[in-house]
Amino acid sequence: MRVQTFAPLAVALVLALLAHGPTAAAGDRSVRIVVLGDSLTAGLGLPADEAFPAKLERALKAKGLAIEVINAGVSGDTASGGLARLDWSVPEGTDAVILELGANDMLRGIDPKLTRQALEEIVRRLSARGVPVLLAGMRAAANLGNDYRRAFEALYSDLAGRYDLLLYPFFLDGVAGEAGLNQSDGLHPTAAGVDAIVARILPKVEELVRRARNGRAM
Residues marked as catalytic: 39, 185, 188
Alpha helices in 72-111 (DSSP H): 79-84, 86-89, 103-107
Q: Which helix (H) or strand (E) holds 116?
A: helix 112-128
The CA–CA distances, whole Å, from 49 to 128, 144, 170, 188, 197 equal: 32, 34, 23, 16, 15
**Helix/strand/coil for 70:** strand
What is the DSSP track for 148-194? HHHHHHHHHHHHHHHHT-EEES-TTTTTTT-GGGB-TTSSSB-HHHH
Q: For residue 200, which of 165, 175, 163, 166 has the smallest C-alpha distance?
A: 175
Strand spans (E) along the chain: 31-37, 67-73, 96-100, 133-136, 166-168
119 forms beta bridges with none
